[in-house]
Structure formats: C-alpha cells, structure tokens
Structure 1
C-alpha cells in the first residue's frame, strides 16, 4: 500500500495535519463557542506564573505516572475528569522520552475571569521518534479557590482546532491498548487488541526481513496503528488519485513541529479489515509498509512508481517465487503492453493494482539486470535532485521509462503465464 503521496514530504510543512497531536483528550465541553475570543490585553505576571505552574505540574504528573497530581490540575467537573483520566491512562502506556508544555504569553486571551492559551506539547516516543514532536492546542484555565491559582477546565476548542487543522492521535480521543515487541510499538483498542500477538510478531519479523534488503541504516523500530475503526486512517491525506477506504495500509511521515518539517519518524496504520487477515498476505503488506518506514525521507524526490515498486519488491523477498501473487488484471495488462511507467497523479486511481504490478516488476527488472542495489542507487540519485528520473534511467542504466515498462511486462508474462 502507498505512503502518503510522493509530494507529501517534498512539502512536508504543508502536511502538518499528519502530526498535529492534541495535548489532551478531546472534550465536548469547550467553552469557547464559535465566536472569536476577545483580543489579548496586558496580562499580569502572576497570572502567567500561575498558568505555567499548572502546565508544569500536569506534565510532571504524566512523566511520573502520578494520577492524583494529574487530577489536581483539573476543574472539579466529572465529565472533564473522566475524559482526562482516560487520556492519562493512555499516556501511561506510552514510552515517553519527553513530555512537556511551552507557550507564548502573546497567545494568552482573557475571557471574563478565565484565560484561553495556545499551548505547545513536546512529546517524544522513546526509541521511535528521532526528535520530540511539537503540537499545539488551546486550553482554558479558570481560577481555583486559592488566590492566584488556576485549574484547567477545557482542553479543547473545536472551532480553533478546525481552523488549525488539528488531527488528534488515537490516545487523545478514547481508550487505547498499547502492546510492544522488539522494536515495535502497537496502538490497539479494546476491540482490536486480540490481533496484537500475531501482528506484533509479523512486524518484528518484517523489521528483520526489510533490514536484510534495504541498504540503509535506520532505527529498526516501528509504530503501527491497528484500531477497530478507520477514523484515524480517514483523517490522513488520501494518496494521489485514490481513496483512503481502498487502502489496506498507509505509511505516513510525522513532522517535528507545525513550523519545522524535520522528520521525527514514519509510522503506519492498517485498515481494520486487516486485523483478521493474519497470514502470508498480511505479512507481505506489513513488510511493504515497513519498507517505507526504513526508506523514510530518502524517497522525497522519487516518483511514486519507484517508491512503491521498491516497497513491493522488498515485501516479496522472503516469499518463495511461486507464492508471490499478482492480480490477474496485471497479467492481462502486461499482455496488452504497458504504455509507460505509472504517473504520480493517478497512481492510486482505478488502475492502481496494475500500477503496483508494473512498478514492482520495473524494479525487478533493474535488480535482475544491474544488481540488488540498482533501484536504491536510482532512489539516491533522485534524492540528489540533479536530474529527472527519465534522464537518470538513461545515464545510469541506458534505458528509458517506456523500455523499462516493456521489460516489466515481459517479466510478468514469463513468470505468470
């Protein structure tokens, strides 16, 4: 299955909705409404200090796993506390290397005796994120009984979140169940966790298999989302020319911050229909997605056919040749003849199964003629950005896109007819 579209990382700053995590569980009790808040005025220093203390205590309670201290920072409203306690229990399951808040006092807005504040959460998954992921949300603070003290009474402003393109993580919106393996962080829920043992094993094996074929150093660690509904998947940008509902899995980049496209990591999500599909085909899909994780941002400038062709090629390497299935429509298209390599803009459209096939076998052609490092050499040359892929194919391998597609068709017919 695809990664986010080829253009996604070239302009990663425009795709930050992939990583705008909320700092707290979404709440239906936002007090901001749809109206714009009043303009900020001068804020007393003791107010800034009071809000800072609330955020520091909240973050410290999360890091220590101190439930009582976490709850003390919340207004005494049962619904809010219940939602936030769920969020706290979710966070306790995550391997947190960093969890802290920062803010700019210029973002502070008074509303009667309360204050709205845009906060930045710095959250880093230990062993999985290269850098902390900075995300933003709006919190509302109301006065506590003690003079100069505050408590959080809303951790959500739906109107602001919509304008900002905030997309919450599963651990922000409801109960999750976290399961881990060697180099694997799995995000499940109560209805999907039964699939965890087999899936974690598959990802562990996939990490080893992919590492044997991909000639890059990488973290050998993977975050996988395997939830019982497709809400999280549907919130991601669709692939070029395709629909998210058609995907069995999707790898996506996680940026360091809304204003910093540095890659913190690449994660992948499985469609719920794959939870009960344990076996060789799901293992192949897992290896495909892990290949995207291992390649990371190295395919930023590559055409989709090369990125997806490499992922398909790597995914089948542990399989016996006779087990490497190909859709019948691809064999028929090969018999008719491919007109060229797939275009980025409609790669995942109605003919996606054929596009994946020609991409895989174009990479297979390069490997058979020039060795297993050939497609990765092409990927690296594309990343350098000195020339387009057609020119690189000519310079490096003495071939053209149409000729490579024709050889892919020949190999398909030889193998599957």
Structure 2
C-alpha cells in the first residue's frame, strides 16, 4: 500500500487530523484498532484512552494555550455533529470551583474569556447553593469561587466523536486500516517512510511520503516511533469510580453541570482537586456519576513497558484510591445513595510544557507527532488535529501563539529512569 500521509493512531487527535488532511486533498491512510471493551486485556498497541462515554467540554481554559484550543474546538462541535450525522455533545454547562488561593489565576482566566467573548458567570458560595442544591462545596482552604459556563459547555462522548471525525475523513477520501502499527522507519528512498503492523492477524506494510504519529499517552511504549526515538512525556494511571444513580435520584442530579475542583493546597493525597461528570447513560443502559482525581500522588506513573502492560490488562483501582474518590463524592454530592459503585480507569499523559506536542521530530524529516492531551485533550482535539494537519502539509501557521509553543521535546533520560516527583504533581493542577 502507498499513501501521501499515514496517520498512525485513530483516536481523538488522529481522527481529527485525518479529516483535515483528507479535506486538503492528500491521500490519507489512517491506522488504528477499534477501541477495546472494558473487559478486554489488549496489547499496548491496542489500548486507547478515548474508550469511555464522557469527557468535559468547556471554553474556560487554565491558560491561553488551552483556552484557545478549547474555544476553537467547542465552537465547531455543532457543525461536526451536523455534518457527520452523529450526535456526541451534551450541553449541560460546566462549573469550576476555584480555590480562593489562586485568585490571580482566576482573574487571568476570566480576562482571557472576556477578550474572546466567552461568557462566564461568577457565583458566590451562597449563589452556588441556591442554583445547585444537590451540590456540596468541598472544604478547600479559604473557600471557593464558582465559575459557570452555561453555553457551549458540558460533555462529549469521545467514542462517538471519533466516529464522527473518521466518517468525515472517509467522505473526504481517507482510507482506514483497523489494526496496530508495530514499526515506523525510513525506507531506502530518501524522505520516504514505511509503516508496518498487523490487522486481524494479517501483516501490512505501507509506504508514505509523510507520517503523523498520534498514538496517545503510550506513544513511547508502542513501537509507533522510529527506533531510538522517544518523547519527554510521562504517562499516569487515573483511577475513576462510577456511581450508579437510581431512578428516584436521576431527575434531581441531571441538573448538575460538569464540575472541576481546583484545590491549590499542597496536601498530598488530601488535596481535593477532582472532576465530576453529571449522570451519563452508559451502553448498558445504566446512569452513572463519574468521579476522577487531580494529580495527587495517588495518580500513579507508568515507568516501564512491563508495568504499563500489566496495568492495561488489569486496570484496577487501589484501596487508597477508592477511599479518596468515595470521600470526595460524599463532599460533592452528599445526598447521593448509589445503587452500585464500579471502577473505570484511563491513562493520562503529561508534557513538561503542559501543552500538546504538535510538530516534527528533530532529525526525522517527514515524520511528525501530535500527542500530549495532558489529561484534558478531548475538548480541544479538533483544533489540535487541524494544527497537526497544518504542520504535516507545511501550510501557513494561523494560530494566535507561535508553533514553538507546541514543539515536541525528546526524552532527556533513559527509559524507566527515576526522575522523582514531576513538578506538575504539585498543586494547583489546573482544569481537567
């Protein structure tokens, strides 16, 4: 097989990039397996972080980079649904509970929103209690400031969004291989690349002028980068709990927006930073509240391929992690009486720049990467994919910040080296 561009990875970034590349007229081949089921123990190359039903959408960003990415993407969601015919976005609003200890950051976030016309309401603790009677306020030192977006905010279904992006890519001419890439390397012809892998037990080989690698948090573990190449990116396991909501409580709790708590206190596992999804209907027909943590020490780093493979197979929440999540749920929704509680895990990645990597690898002409959602890349993925297509096609950069902001950084240390506690594990953690 041959293609102008091979996109390795059919997740949120890869599918969006494939759409924009195909619409430009490029002959695009997308390589990526179907998302695994929860009870499957797939190889690393088959693990996908978008295999869930809900990710938060907001335009209020922690900084100018994410605020701009998120705003541009959120503004396109209605058109993406309409063009694809696939619904995936629920507009229920988004609420950030910001610890008063980061008021300077809060003011800056509001200033940026005002500059681009994103309406955000400031709510006092008393006003929060009146508007959301089911919501309990976490006992963050000094109290919290409520920042509420009512429009173009809520949550998206990442599985369905990826389906929508791939559908539009296919309509524009993109082809798809439902498999996993095992090796990416230069071939004998200068400037050309070969991608090899397996689909349904059958080996494949593709030659292309350009390759875009979009394999997510496990990019350093899957063989999707050329031999010897690695990114300065760390992967972490994120424990979540799903709290089943009874029919009796469903109507009251469905009025909740998505919620993020930003606790600036450096209190280790006692830090209260977390995020909460309102009741979301899962494929089994059950409604669940989903709760996840900030970057407390209880969010574990995956340091080796063996450790990563073991975790992906088991995806288990530890006793300490479950205890923390249950305690936070009691704070945020004190009247909740869950019918059941089940585990749901995912992998998040962190870059030292705290921004996604979008660009070419040093010394690898024709090979680019788009990776580094930093735990909240879903809502900005359409713009991230568009920028990746811009880089691959050498088109004029038209983002308000320079491309250097997104420049990939190579891994400075040997794989598996103990780097200690990264600085992004120190509060405040930002908005999930």
TM-score normalised by L of structure 1: 0.23
TM-score normalised by L of structure 2: 0.22
- Rg: which structure is higher? 1
Larger relative contact order (Cα-Cα within 8 Å, sequence gap ≥ 6) = 2
More strand by share: 2
